[in-house]
Amino acid sequence: MSGTPTAVVVAAALTHEGTLLLAQRTRPPELAGLWELPGGKVEPGESEDSALARELREELGVECSIGAALSGDVDLAGGLVLRAYRATLVSGTPAALEHSALRWVDAAMLPTMDLVDADRLWLPELLDILLTS
C-alpha cells in the first residue's frame, strides 16, 4: 500500500558445529508447538541486524553476530515480510526465554521437524549450510 512502510520480521539461521538452532513457538495458537528460526519484528528506526541481535538477546539470552541474508523473502499475513540472516554465537548459551523449547538440529534431523510454514522456503539452503559447515 502506498505510504505504508512494509514491516519486516527478521529470523536467525543460528548455527554451531554443524547444527542449527530451532525454537518451538508458544503463540499464537495456530503456530504453538511448531518450530521456527528465532526472531521477531524490526522496530521503527532499527536496522535489521540490530533488531535480530536484540530479538536473540530477548528470546535466547545470547549475544550473536549477524551475517548474510538467506535467499528470498516470505510474505506473511498483515503486510509483514519475513527475512532470514545467518548468525553465530558470540557469548552465552541459548535458553528458551520466550519459547517452549530449543533444539540444535543437524542436517538429518532438520527435515523431520514440524516447522512453521513461513520458514520452509529456506529448508534447502539451511540443509546446504549444515552439510557444508
Chain residues binding Mg ion by CB under 5 A are 40
C-alpha cell at 36: 521456527
Single-letter residue type at 77: A
> Should residue 64 be labelled a site residue for ligand 9L3 when binding is judged by CB under 6 A?
no
Q: Which stretch, 37-45, 86-94, 100-108, 124-132, contacts ligand 9L3 (CB under 6 A)?
A: 37-45
- State how far the Cα of 61 lies from the Cα of 67, in Å rounded to an integer: 19
Q: Which stretch, 45-53, 76-84, 88-96, 122-130, contacts ligand 9L3 (CB under 6 A)?
A: 76-84
> Should residue 116 be labelled a site residue for ligand 9L3 when binding is judged by CB under 6 A?
yes
Q: Name which of Mg ion, ligand 9L3, none residue 116 binds, using a CB cut-off of 5 to 8 Å depending on partner kind.
A: ligand 9L3
Interacting residue with ligand 9L3 among 8, 34, 40, 69 (CB under 6 A):
40
> Should residue 52 be labelled a site residue for ligand 9L3 when binding is judged by CB under 6 A?
no
CB atoms within 10 A of CB 19: 17
Q: What is the DSSP string of 101-113?
A: EEEEE-TTTGGGS
* 39-41 and 7-16 beta bridge pairing: antiparallel
Q: Which stretch, 35-43, 44-52, 61-69, 99-107, contacts ligand 9L3 (CB under 6 A)?
A: 35-43
User: Which residue has cell 557469548?
Assistant: 91
SS3 19: strand
